Amino acid sequence: MTLHKMGDSPKRREDARFVTGHGNYLDDLKFDGLAHAVVLRSPHAHALIRSIDTAAASRAAGVLAVLTAAEAAADGLKPLRPYAEANVQTGEPFAFAAQPLLASDKVRFAGEPVALIVAETQAQALDAAELVEVDYEALPAVTTAAAARATGAPQLAAEIPGNVCLDWRTGDAAGADAAFARAAHVVELTLDNHRIVMNPMEPRGGVGSCDPATGRYTLHVSSQNIHINRNFVARTLGVEAKAVRFVAPDVGGGFGAKNFAYVEHALILWAAKRTGRKVKWIASRSEVFLSDHAARDMLAEASLALDGDGRFLALRIASLANLGAYMAGAGGGVQTYQYIHLQGSVYRIPSIALHVVAVVTNTAPIGVTRGPGFAEAINIVERLIDAAAFATGIDAAELRRRNMVPPEAMPMTNAFGFQVDSGRFAESLDKALLRADRAGFETRRRDSAARGRLRGLGFAYHIKGTGGPPDENVDVRFEADGTVSLITGTQHIGQGHETTFPQILAHRLGVPNERIRLVQGDTDAIPAGGGHGSSRATYMGGTAIWRASDEIVAKGIALAADALEAAEADIRFEDGRFVVSGTDRAIGLLEAAALGREKGKPLDTFHAWKREHMTFPNGAHVVEVEIDRDTGKVELARYTAVDDYGVLVNPMVATGQAHGAMAQGSGQALLEHATYDPTSGQMVAASFMDYALPRADDLPSFDLGFNATPCTTNPLGVKGCGEAGAIAAFPAIANAILDALAPLGVKGFDGPASPARIWQAIEDAR
C-alpha cells in the first residue's frame, strides 16, 4: 500500500479504466427495454409556428410518442427559467422570457426544439421526425448584439423590450471623467471577444425513467452540476427536487457547456413518464453546434487613461453582450458578477466606469466556458496595456510592473470592493519573461526575418476568482472491509479527482490511497453539491475534506484514549496512528474506526460548509508567433507560462489542467469561431468541416512553471487551476500577433487570427 500526500504526483488512477475502454459514460450504460428519442429542431432562426401536424409521424413504424408544446401544456410542464433572474449587485430584475421546453407559437434560434419523437429505435425516431409537418412563417432574424439593438430590429419576445435584458452603469463615472480630463495619455480600443462552441468529447445526453409506483424520476445524464441542475429540472416538471434523481458516473468533459440544465433533460424524463419506458437521447455533433450553450460573444469599447509616468488613472468600458435567444444558465449573472469582479485585474486603477448591456438575438443561448466574465475583462485590460505601451514608448513589461499591486499591499481591494488575498504578480511576470528568454527574442526575430517570416512576442497577466456555487459537502465513511468511502457533492469530468481527492484525505489521515474510494455523480449519494464549475472542486470539496478530517481525528482521539487507557490530552495523531505521547503504544486510524463501529461511535463524518471568499489563481503567459506575410498564416512558435495556483495537491494533474486550458485559449485566438449568417440566422460553422478545433500540430510544447503563494482563505492553501490558460492565451496571442505586424502598420484585427483575417489586415495596412 502506498501513501501519496499533497504535493506528490502519482499517476491518475482513473486513466487505467479510461484508456482501456472501461469508463462508464452515458453511451456505455446498459438498460433493458430502452426506447430512443430524437429532437425535431427548428430550421429557422426566427419564425412563427402556424401549426404542427404529427399525425403521420405518430403512425410511423415503432413510434411510441410524438410530443409537442400542446402536450407539454396539457401535462402542466413549465418553461426553463434562468439561474439568475436579477442583477447580483442591485437586485434589479432582468428582462427575460423563460425558455419553453418545446417551442409553441414561435422559434427564436435555428436548432430550437419543436417536437420530441420517441420510438423503439433511433432510426425509427429519425424517420418519424421527417414526417412531422410544421408550418412556419419566417421572420427577420438578428444574430449580433448590435443588430438586435438597432432601430426597427425584430423583437424576440414581448417580455424583453428592445431585446435588452439589462442596461446597467456602475463604478466611478465622475472619477473616471476627471481622470481622463487630466490624463497625459489616453488609449482606446474596440474589441470583439467572439463566440465559441465548447465541443466536449462526450456530447450532452440523458437516459430517463419514471417509476410508475412512486412517480419518481431518474435521469442518467452527462452533466457537470447534477444537484443544481436536478433542482431546475424538477421545477419544470412541477415536482419537488427529491422526486428527481440525477446520476452521472463518468462525464466526458464539459468546459462549461454542461454546467446548466437544458430543456432536453426535462423532455426525456417527461417522455419516460408518458411512454412508461426508459428513454435515451444523445446529441449528435451537429446538435452540439446548434443547441449547446455557446460562450463569449461580447463587444467592448474600452479606454485607459495614464499620467505622464505611465501610471494608470482610470478605465472606461462599454460592453455589449450577446446572450443568444434565451437568458440560459447564468446569463446576466455573469455580466453583473464575474465580469465586474476583477475589472482592472492585478493593477492599481483608482477609477473604473462600466456600462454593461446584454441583449437577446436569434442564436443559440450563451452559457459559460473557462473563465466566464473574467476572461472578457482580462482580455480588455491586457490589450489596452499593450496599446498604451506602444503609445507611450514604455516597455510593455515595465508598464505592467509599474502598475501592479505589490505583495506588501496584499490583500488588495479593487475599485469595486472585491478583495484578493494573495499573489506576487510582478515576480510571476518576471519569472515568466526570464523562462521565455525574452532577452533572446530579438535574435529569434532576426532569424525569422531571414526566412521571410514575421515574428512577434506578446504576453498577458491573468487572474480569476474561483469558487462557483458557495455551498459544498463531503461524507467520509469507514467501511467494514477497511476501505474509506469519500462521497462528494463535486464532480469529476476529466480533471483527475479520483486521484487528487484521495491524496487530500491520505495527507490528513495517513490512509493509503488505494483504500480510499471516491464516490460522486449521484444526487441520492449525498444531499447537495455544487458540481464542477469555476475551478471550484479542489477548493470547495478539498476544504470540506480537510475540515471533516479534523472532526474524524477528534473522534478518533476519544476512542484511542479509551482503548489505550490514556488521557485524551496525551494522545497525538501522526502518520495514520493515534499514539500515547512518550510511549510506543498506538492504535491505527482504521483500527479505531473498527472499534468505533463496534461501540456505536463510528468515525463516519459528514461536513458541509459555505464559503465567504473565492480563490484567485493568477500568472503570466508569454507567447511567440511567426507569421507568413504572403498567406497570413500564424504559427504559435513558443508558449511559456508561470502560474500561481497556491499549494499544488498533485503538480502533474495541475499541469495537465493548465495545458488543456492553454490549448482551448489558443483555439479561440487562432482558429475557432461560431459564426452565423447575418440574414438567415443559420449557423455557418456547424461542423468540424467549418469549425476548426486546435490539433496537436497547431500547438507548441507548453513550458509551464509555478510561483505559488498559498491561498489564505482555505486550510489547504489551494487555488483553482483549470481556467488560467483559456483566459491568458487569447490576449497574449493577440498581443504577439500585433507585435509581429507592427512594422507593417497593422493596429488591429477582429475574430480568430485565421490566415484570411491576418492577410486582410496586412493588405488594409498597405
Query: Which CATH number fits the domain that encloses residue 219?
Result: 3.30.365.10
Say what the pLDDT of residue 186 is.
Answer: 98
Q: Is the residue at 248 inside a domain?
A: yes
Measure the CA–CA gap between 708 and 402, rounded to whole angstroms: 22
Give just the sign of the alpha carbon dihedral 84, 85, 86, 87.
Answer: positive
Which of helix, strand or coil describes residue 196?
strand
Q: How confident is the model at residue 349 (pLDDT cuts 50, 70, 90)?
A: very high
- Whether residues 484 and 523 share a domain: the answer is yes
- The order of strands in the sheet holding 605-610 is 516-519, 484-488, 471-478, 605-610
Q: Tell me which of 346 and 750 has the higher pLDDT.
A: 346
Residue in 567, 563, 596, 562 with CA at minimum distance from that of residue 582: 567
Q: What is the DSSP letter of 76?
A: T
Q: Is the residue at 727 inside a domain?
A: no
Say what the pLDDT of residue 677 is.
Answer: 97
Say what the pLDDT of residue 330 is.
Answer: 80
Mean pLDDT over 272-286 rounds to 98
Measure the CA–CA gap between 418 and 153, rounded to whole angstroms: 38
Which residues lie closer than 8 Å to 2 by C-beta, 6 or more apart?
10, 512, 513, 514
Q: Is the residue at 48 inside a domain?
A: no
> How many CA atoms does the CB half-sphere of 765 hold within 13 Å?
17
DSSP H helical ranges for 198-351: 226-237, 263-275, 285-291, 332-333, 339-341
Say what the pLDDT of residue 414 is.
Answer: 95
Q: Tell me which of 382 and 766 has the higher pLDDT.
A: 382
- Whether residues 233 and 176 share a domain: the answer is no
Mean pLDDT over 305-312 rounds to 98
Say what the pLDDT of residue 155 is.
Answer: 98
Question: Is pLDDT of 547 > 90?
Answer: yes
DSSP H helical ranges for 436-583: 441-450, 497-509, 537-564
Given 382, 406, 430, the domain boundary residue is: 406
- Whether residues 503 and 577 share a domain: the answer is yes
Residue in 732, 704, 728 with CA at minimum distance from that of residue 459: 732
Question: Is pLDDT of 413 > 90?
Answer: yes
What percent of the chain has a predicted confidence (pLDDT) above 70? 100
Peptide bond preceding 411 in cis form (omega within 30 of 0): yes
Angle, CA 208 vertex, CA 277 and CA 541 arms, to 5°: 155
- Whether residues 588 and 564 share a domain: the answer is yes
Given 243, 273, 291, the domain boundary residue is: 291
- Whether residues 301 and 177 share a domain: the answer is yes
Quote the pTM value. 0.96
Q: What is the DSSP letter of 150?
A: S
> How many CA atoms does the CB half-sphere of 222 hold within 13 Å?
28
Measure the CA–CA gap between 523 and 261, rounded to whole angstroms: 15
Q: How confident is the model at residue 81 (pLDDT cuts 50, 70, 90)?
A: very high
Q: Is the residue at 80 inside a domain?
A: no
Tell me the CA distances in angstroms from 693 to 285, 376, 578, 671, 765, one per residue in order. Answer: 13, 20, 53, 7, 29
Amino acid at position 359, single letter: V
> 186-224: per-residue pLDDT in tens?
999 999 999 999 999 999 999 999 999 999 999 999 999
Question: Is pLDDT of 335 > 80?
Answer: yes
> How many CA atoms does the CB half-sphere of 457 hold within 13 Å?
19
Given 610, 642, 669, the domain boundary residue is: 610
Question: Is pLDDT of 687 > 90?
Answer: yes
> How many CA atoms does the CB half-sphere of 540 hold within 13 Å?
30
Quote the cell numbers at residue 315: 478605465
The total domain count for the chain is 3
Which residues lie closer than 8 Å to 211 by C-beta, 6 or more apart?
217, 218
**What is the widest separation between alpha-carbon atoms in the chain?**
88
Residue in 250, 245, 244 with CA at minimum distance from that of residue 223: 250
Q: Tell me which of 434 and 724 has the higher pLDDT.
A: 434
Measure the CA–CA gap between 143 and 682, rounded to whole angstroms: 9
Q: Are 39 and 128 in contact (CB under 8 A)?
A: no
> 361-371: per-residue pLDDT in tens?
999 999 999 99
**Each residue of 156-171: b (16+ CB within 10 Å) or e?**
bbeebeebbbbebebb
- Whether residues 266 and 224 share a domain: the answer is yes
Measure the CA–CA gap between 217 and 209, rounded to whole angstroms: 6
> 733-746: per-residue pLDDT in tens?
999 999 999 999 99
Amino acid at position 760, single letter: Q
Mean pLDDT over 36-42 rounds to 98
Say what the pLDDT of residue 446 is.
Answer: 98
Say what the pLDDT of residue 269 is.
Answer: 98
CB atoms within 10 A of CB 421: 19
DSSP H helical ranges for 589-686: 589-598, 651-670
- Whether residues 181 and 223 share a domain: the answer is no
Residue in 47, 45, 106, 38 with CA at minimum distance from that of residue 67: 38
| β-bridge pairing 244-247 and 185-193 | unpaired
Host H or E run for residue 398: helix 396-403
- Whether residues 355 and 491 share a domain: the answer is no
- Whether residues 397 and 538 share a domain: the answer is no
- Whether residues 501 and 580 share a domain: the answer is yes
- Whether residues 272 and 383 share a domain: the answer is no
Measure the CA–CA gap between 396 and 376, rounded to whole angstroms: 20
- Whether residues 229 and 344 share a domain: the answer is no
Radius of gyration of the CA atoms of the chain, in A:
27
| β-bridge pairing 484-488 and 702-706 | unpaired
Q: Are 13 and 2 in contact (CB under 8 A)?
A: no
Q: Are 40 and 112 in contact (CB under 8 A)?
A: no
Question: Is pLDDT of 331 > 90?
Answer: no
Say what the pLDDT of residue 99 is.
Answer: 98
Question: Is pLDDT of 158 > 90?
Answer: yes
Measure the CA–CA gap between 98 and 720, rounded to whole angstroms: 32
Q: Is the residue at 653 inside a domain?
A: no
Which residues lie closer than 8 Å to 196 by C-beta, 6 or more apart?
294, 295, 296, 369, 667, 668, 672, 673, 674
Residue 88, phi then psi, degrees to nearest 5: -60, -30
Q: Is the residue at 103 inside a domain?
A: no
Mean pLDDT over 711-728 rounds to 94
Chain-centre distance for alpha carbon 227: 17
Question: Is pLDDT of 1 > 80?
Answer: no
Q: Is the residue at 730 inside a domain?
A: no
Q: How confident is the model at residue 329 (pLDDT cuts 50, 70, 90)?
A: confident
What percent of the chain has a predicted confidence (pLDDT) above 90? 96
pLDDT, the chain, mean = 96
Measure the CA–CA gap between 489 and 466, rounded to whole angstroms: 17
Q: Is the residue at 179 inside a domain?
A: yes
Q: Which domain holds residue 601?
A: 468-610
Orientation angle between helical segments 263-275 and 226-237, nearest 10 degrees:
60
